[in-house]
């Protein structure tokens, strides 16, 4: 991209909107966010501008219209196959776990084993000392896609695929890897969760900070997502903490969010830390070879919220009952460890 050194860079207007000071700065509109992210994805932006842009957004805190515009720009540039398979559920996983194992993976596997088509996407390695979902998926013998075409085939044949972020967008993978450079998370960690590459009607969202509930819920409304739920999950993943009440914000299209508080499932409010973090334990719990009250409450609790979001349960109690029955009816031979 050839530039006139005497003229402002085309991207500079977006940096200026965010950096004019407390009295003049404002949120980007949806269209401005869309155009800004298009330029970033098309590599028409200087590294210095990207750093300033992302950190100004971080300082200001993202708005729903910004997150929605960024996500839509990514969707426009996905290298989708000619035939996109029917998918029931989109499940982003970008945080990684450090205190408890990713029990939510078994919630997802319960759904997949009983006919629900799921697309999971995420990334790994950006924060040391965490167990990331991709490694667990590979350990359990479930497919990881090297292209969106392969992901489509895996959904058709296995009912599940895990899509690494670099397969959807190498640019976004690079930006997420800048976290150690910035010393902070950036808005990339927020809007990548909303890419929903195969346009599933139900999209789950897990966050770490309570203040992002309205941002993710609002972005889902801007995008017209038919069914979406966001809650503060264990470690920032889509995983209900069974030892504490969980507030869930659910949206259906452009309607106002429905806020429901799911009760704690365990009497002990203290969250135990798993000192070993051995992913092989997921298979032992799946097969019934190991009993773990915390793990099973987390699995069924997460599953219940998902069923409610998908419209497969009319109340919290109905969702809890349905989740317990599904877990009990799981095919214990469905998963196998691969090393």
- The CATH number for 170's domain is 3.40.1030.10
The two structure tokens encoding residue 122: 């995420």
pLDDT single digits (tens) 76-110: 999 999 999 999 999 999 999 999 999 999 999 99
* Sequence-ordered strand ranges (E) for 173-280: 202-207, 227-232, 246-251, 258-262
User: Distance (Å, rounded) from C-alpha 64 to C-alpha 259?
Assistant: 17
My answer on whether 55 and 117 are in the same domain is no
Can you give the pLDDT at residue 3?
Answer: 59
| Owner of token pair 């409450």 | 297
Whether 241 and 131 share a structural domain:
yes
Residues 246 and 128 in one domain: yes
- Both 97 and 58 in one domain: the answer is no
Tell me if 35 sits within 8 A of 167, measured CB to CB: no
Question: How confident is the model over 205-218, as pLDDT tens digits?
Answer: 999 877 789 999 99
Q: Is the confidence at residue 6, as pLDDT, over 80? A: no
128 shares a domain with 47: no
If you average pLDDT over residues 19-25, what whole number do you get?
A: 81
**What's the rounded Cα separation, in Å, for the pair 59 and 185?**
11
> Is the pLDDT assigned to residue 49 strictly greater than 70?
yes
Give just the sign of the alpha carbon dihedral 75, 221, 68, 144. negative
Q: How many domains does the chain have?
A: 2
Asked whether residue 81 is assigned to any structural domain, the reply reads no
Q: Is 73 helix (H, G, I), strand (E, B) or coil?
A: helix
Q: How far apart are CA 57 and CA 53, in angstroms?
A: 6
Give me the pLDDT at residue 5, please.
65
Residue 296 inside a domain? The answer is: yes
Give SS3 for 329: coil
Q: How confident is the model at residue 304 (pLDDT cuts 50, 70, 90)?
A: very high
- What is the rounded distance in angstroms from the CA atom of residue 43 to the CA atom of residue 81? 23
Which range marks the domain in which residue 145 is found?
Answer: 89-329
């Amino acid at each position: 991209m050839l530039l006139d050194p005497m003229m402002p860079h085309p991207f500079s207007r977006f940096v200026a909107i965010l950096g004019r000071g407390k009295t003049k700065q404002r949120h980007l509109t949806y269209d401005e966010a869309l155009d800004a992210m298009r330029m970033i994805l098309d590599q028409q932006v200087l590294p210095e501008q990207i750093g300033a842009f992302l950190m100004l957004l971080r300082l200001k805190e993202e708005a729903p219209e910004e997150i929605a515009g960024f996500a839509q720009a990514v969707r426009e540039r996905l290298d989708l196959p000619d035939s996109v398979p029917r998918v029931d559920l989109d499940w982003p996983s970008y945080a990684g776990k450090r205190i408890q194992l990713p029990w939510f993976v078994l919630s997802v596997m319960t759904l997949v084993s009983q006919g629900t088509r799921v697309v999971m996407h995420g990334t790994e390695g950006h924060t040391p000392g965490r167990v990331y979902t991709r490694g667990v998926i590979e350990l359990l013998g479930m497919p990881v896609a090297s292209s969106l075409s392969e992901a489509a085939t895996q959904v058709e044949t296995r009912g599940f695929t895990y899509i690494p972020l670099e397969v959807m967008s190498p640019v976004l993978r690079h930006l997420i890897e800048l976290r150690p450079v910035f010393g902070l998370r950036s808005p990339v960690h927020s809007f990548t969760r909303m890419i929903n590459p195969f346009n599933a009607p139900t999209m789950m969202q897990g966050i770490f900070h309570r203040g992002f509930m309205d941002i993710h819920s609002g972005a889902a409304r801007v995008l017209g997502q038919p069914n979406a739920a966001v809650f503060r999950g264990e470690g920032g993943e889509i995983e209900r903490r069974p030892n504490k009440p969980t507030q869930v914000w659910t949206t259906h299209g452009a309607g106002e969010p429905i806020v429901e508080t799911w009760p704690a499932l365990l009497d002990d409010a203290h969250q135990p830390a798993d000192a070993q973090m051995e992913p092989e334990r997921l298979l032992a719990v799946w097969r019934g070879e190991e009993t773990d009250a915390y793990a099973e409450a987390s699995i069924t609790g997460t599953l219940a919220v998902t069923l409610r979001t998908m419209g497969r349960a009319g109340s919290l109690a109905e969702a809890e009952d349905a989740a317990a029955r599904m877990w009990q009816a799981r095919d214990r031979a469905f998963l196998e460890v691969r090393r």
